[in-house]
Structure 1
């Protein structure tokens, strides 16, 4: 009796064909586009369109304003509901990225260093990165405003309520998880699997980070590209996203809560009011 080439022996399952590497690369590339299309890539496209709209609107960029963390309803309980729903659904791409990275039974949080294995060290490194990035970043923002290439950013415009500060902190954490997990951990791991060189991987992650901040103008674009390079190089060396999440959360908490709580004259004195 002639034997079948895909069966080792009677009663044993068929041997799976070897994966085609070109097909694997195509699948990974499609996966990357899907994940980015559902998250930061979509934000980047909207940011580019927003910048084009601002540039063609008539007034100079310095005379225009963009608002983060705006209220969604004059009714406090409904506003809180909308805020929490927005934060929760924004984290779905994070869950998707972690799920995709956990193929073959691997732990995605351990793979990209999102675990709590080194809490004190991650906290210290994260706060250090926040200081290194935050002070020059504020300087770039002020310089951009002075040069007329950056819009005025109102970092928080929530109606005053008992939940205002907690929601701003949650928003900061959501931004940090989304950006650091998707733009650094997920994207860099996948591009490495596609055999991209380290400089190209770092550049892709940094340019993505800058692109979805273009709605704020050219100053924040440059500042976030620099931040992206620093964060990406740290990930290349340490393979841990958690310090980046700590740093990003700290930066946004200072920006959001500080904007909401500081007197208006103080904000104007540092160029963010």
Structure 2
């Protein structure tokens, strides 16, 4: 069976099916395939797989642990609660049904959780994360990331960089507040549901439909769709005692803490300052 798999360019690694192409010493065509991803080493496996390059790793119907390498990998977990680690390279990782854990690490990675309560970590690079159905946790990490929770009560954390966060359907917690100045601007959208939307300095917040809570963690935050009497607004400030004030502009109402502009509430002409909650700044 194994010699036949080797001739077909396939190898078995645990419960995973690994598609390979020869690295050296074989009879395969060495010309590049424009439709294939950059291949990845299969590792230190003995026998026919030792000098192979991995192009595609596909798990089985059980709980798999699948790993990429320094090149651009395509890894699919399929059924089961899978752990997928792309490592270096611009990887495409798909968890499939089940509660999967995906790590992109280095490179501009694409991570898809599918159905189930998945955990997706982009880590380094400009990553694309999509939780799919289920109550998912998405963490962008460093880089300019795009996070979409999908259906379910999801938790999204952008991390550093200029991120775009969309909670999707469900009651989501969407947080783009990492970072200390407006040089990094996140676009944070709760979408449908009763969402908790958090933004840091320079961020744009949109709760979407539903009764939302907006948490402002820095200066110059723009809240696109705050509805007085329906939504809640929380300002995190560093002062022990904070005096709130407001200023009406052509764009809306600016809420200030001790004279410092914190939040622009677009489209409003007035604001009841007593309706705003003031809390200590997050450590």
Into which bin does the TM-score normalised by the smaller protein fall?
under 0.3
- Higher relative CO (Cα under 8 Å, sequence separation at least 6) belongs to 1
Larger radius of gyration: 2
As a proportion of its length, which structure holds more helix? 1
